[in-house]
């Protein structure tokens, strides 16, 4: 429980004034409810003694305490629930900010995929939010337990000792159940991740699923995961709901024994009827409070699992570090230099001691078999992750010494897998640099050879694209991606297989846009097609993480080495 509060406190401390105020109201409510048994005892006493004044005033006093308690309860619960909603929003913001700050390697290595990350954002934080609702009960109700026990001791300390002795028995059962709840809670949350992942894959891959008749497979997988989730929920609910009946059953046995004993005491003249009424009301309040504490404890145990899973992400160190006082991107840079750069994904080496100098305005083509390190090399330029060894300089400034924003402001990316936002065409081009006025969007589209097809869409530049540009063809998506890079107008350009997925006609249209885009820029081009590679000032052949050949197309072909063999293989396909 201490761990839960340690992890939860930093999240709720921003609202500590409201929470403390709300809890003080809760304690005040508990105190009001705590005097109810004594008021009932005094009322019965007034009846037996035929005291008309007290018989009139005490009901009014009881009514007043419950009205005040009701008003206080409203503010207490409103502020606790509203605050828990605000905390949930903050947690989702924190998690979103963390997702945006994590490096590319994290997402490539995270085994549970985007479904797991979405589940933590939605399901886990909802569990934490629900537990904060119950936190009010967990903190408020113990005060009512104390008030009730104090009153019972006042009435008859011997009888109260019997109740106090019984409490550890109830709490021991609760602790055992809480332990299993954490175990099954963790499993149910993992299963929910699997459900989310399967749903996302089914929706994102609708075309493939339908083409390969995978509907039964996806349906069966989802149903199996849903059944597993249902089974874990059954185990959780059975334990959650067992605590109440167990507490009530045990309490009823204690209550029956106490009533028998109290009746005996009344007959023997040691207790009065009004004492019995006060004692009974206090026990009922005590039992209700214990049940609420149990419920709060169980919810906090579930929150502990959710907090652990959330902090697996929040505490993750897979971020690209930045200096508190970074250097600015050099305006007079003349080259990009890789100095002894080595990189590996875990134990798998990808680049090995790369030394490379690229002149400003030079077009570099990167070729080689898949897995040779081409994409990793250009990813390092953008600092999606850092090399294990070595450094990359732009001009005389190490890119590690620049802010990520400043560095990436000077690099434009056109990738094979085009990502488009579910917004307008205008926004998707403007996203190249949102700090600029969007008036230059149409000029960028014209340069990218995209303007003609855009003006033929339903709402032209205001046409909404749907999920990842689902309304556009592959060539149209790519031209919008190129227009985005044109609009950004960055001096360094990365083309990562920008035309490899296009047919010949679309490639020609896209290539026109790329040719305009590359003018006057330093370009790193990853490509397989000879027509693209031949335009490069220099070609680098990567194999097993090494630059094994370097030169122009003609010089490399004349050597009849790796590049020659690569082109022979490509031409035979």
Q: Over the stretch 191-238, which tens digit does the pLDDT of each residue have?
A: 887 888 887 777 776 766 776 677 788 888 888 888 888 888 887 777
The mean per-residue pLDDT over the stretch 305-320 comes to 81
The more confident residue out of 150 and 524 is 524
Q: What length is written for the chain?
A: 573
| Adjacency order of strands within the sheet including 348-359 | 348-359, 335-345, 389-394, 397-398
- Of the candidates 479, 440, 436, 434, the one whose C-alpha atom is nearest the C-alpha of residue 456 is 479
pTM: 0.73
Please, what are the domains in the chain?
Answer: 2-184+239-314 (1.20.1560.10), 335-572 (3.40.50.300)
pLDDT of 518 = 77
Q: Is the pLDDT of residue 43 over 70?
A: yes
Which helix (H) or strand (E) is 384 found in, with range? none
As a whole number of angstroms, the distance between CA 510 and CA 479 comes to 6
User: What secondary structure letter does DSSP report for 561?
Assistant: S
Strand partners, 464: 424
Angle subtended by helix axes 273-314 and 157-204, to nearest 10: 30
The mean per-residue pLDDT over the stretch 323-333 comes to 90
| pLDDT grade for 504, boundaries at 50, 70 and 90 | low
Q: Is the pLDDT of residue 290 over 90?
A: no
How far CA 58 is from CA of 41, 61, 64, 273, 551, in Å, comes to 10, 5, 10, 17, 100
The mean per-residue pLDDT over the stretch 324-343 comes to 92
| pLDDT grade for 400, boundaries at 50, 70 and 90 | very high
Q: What percent of the chain has pLDDT over 90?
A: 12
pLDDT of 503 = 61
The more confident residue out of 210 and 4 is 210
pLDDT of 535 = 82
Q: What percent of the chain has pLDDT over 70?
A: 88
């Amino acid at each position: 429980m201490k761990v839960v509060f340690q992890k939860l406190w930093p999240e709720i401390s921003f609202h500590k004034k409201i929470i403390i105020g709300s809890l003080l109201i809760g304690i005040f409510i508990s105190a009001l409810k705590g005097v109810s048994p004594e008021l009932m005892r005094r009322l019965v006493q007034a009846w037996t003694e035929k005291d008309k004044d007290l018989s009139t005033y005490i009901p009014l006093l009881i009514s007043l305490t419950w009205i005040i308690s009701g008003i206080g309860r409203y503010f207490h619960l409103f502020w606790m629930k509203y605050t828990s909603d605000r905390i949930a929003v903050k947690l989702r913001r924190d998690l979103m900010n963390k997702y945006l700050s994590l490096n590319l390697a994290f997402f490539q290595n995270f085994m549970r995929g985007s479904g797991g990350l979405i589940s933590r954002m939605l399901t886990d934080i909802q569990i934490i939010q629900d537990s904060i609702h119950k936190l009010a009960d967990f903190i408020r109700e113990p005060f009512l337990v104390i008030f009730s026990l104090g009153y019972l001791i006042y009435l008859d300390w011997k009888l109260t000792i019997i109740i106090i002795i019984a409490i550890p028995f109830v709490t021991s059962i609760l602790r055992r159940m809480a332990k299993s709840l954490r175990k099954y809670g963790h499993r149910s949350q993992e299963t929910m991740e699997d459900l989310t992942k399967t749903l996302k894959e089914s929706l994102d891959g609708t075309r493939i699923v339908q083409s390969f008749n995978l509907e039964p497979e996806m349906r069966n997988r989802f149903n199996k995961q849903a059944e597993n989730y249902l089974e874990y929920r059954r185990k959780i609910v059975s334990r959650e709901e067992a605590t109440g009946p167990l507490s009530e059953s045990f309490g009823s046995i204690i209550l029956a024994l106490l009533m028998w004993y109290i009746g005996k005491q009344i007959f023997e003249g040691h207790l009065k009827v009004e004492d019995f009424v006060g004692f009974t009301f206090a026990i009922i309040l005590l039992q209700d409070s214990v049940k609420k504490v149990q419920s709060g404890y169980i919810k906090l145990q579930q929150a502990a699992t959710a907090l652990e899973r959330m902090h697996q992400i929040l505490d993750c160190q897979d971020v690209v570090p930045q200096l508190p006082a970074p250097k600015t991107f050099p305006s007079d840079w003349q080259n990009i230099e890789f100095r002894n750069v080595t990189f590996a994904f875990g134990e798998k080496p990808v680049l090995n001691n790369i030394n490379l100098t690229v002149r400003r305005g030079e077009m570099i083509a990167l070729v080689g078999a898949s897995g040779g390190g081409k994409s990793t090399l250009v990813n390092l330029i953008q600092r999606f992750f850092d090399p294990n060894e070595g450094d990359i300089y732009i001009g005389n400034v190490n890119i590690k010494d620049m802010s990520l924003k400043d560095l990436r402001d000077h690099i434009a990316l056109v990738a094979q897998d085009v990502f488009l936002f579910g917004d307008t065409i205008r926004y998707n081009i403007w996203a190249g640099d949102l700090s600029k006025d969007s008036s230059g969007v149409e000029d960028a589209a014209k340069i990218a050879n995209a303007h003609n097809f855009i003006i033929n869409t339903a709402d032209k530049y205001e046409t909404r694209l749907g999920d990842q540009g689902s309304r556009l063809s592959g060539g149209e998506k790519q031209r919008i991606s190129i227009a985005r890079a044109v609009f950004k107008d960055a001096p360094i350009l990365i083309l990562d297989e920008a035309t490899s997925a296009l047919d010949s006609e679309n490639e020609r249209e896209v290539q026109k846009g790329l040719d305009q885009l590359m003018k006057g820029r330093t370009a790193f081009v990853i490509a397989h097609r000879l027509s693209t590679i031949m335009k490069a000032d220099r070609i680098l052949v990567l194999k097993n993480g090494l630059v094994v050949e370097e030169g122009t197309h003609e010089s490399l072909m004349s050597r009849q080495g790796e590049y020659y063999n690569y082109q022979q293989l490509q031409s035979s396909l």
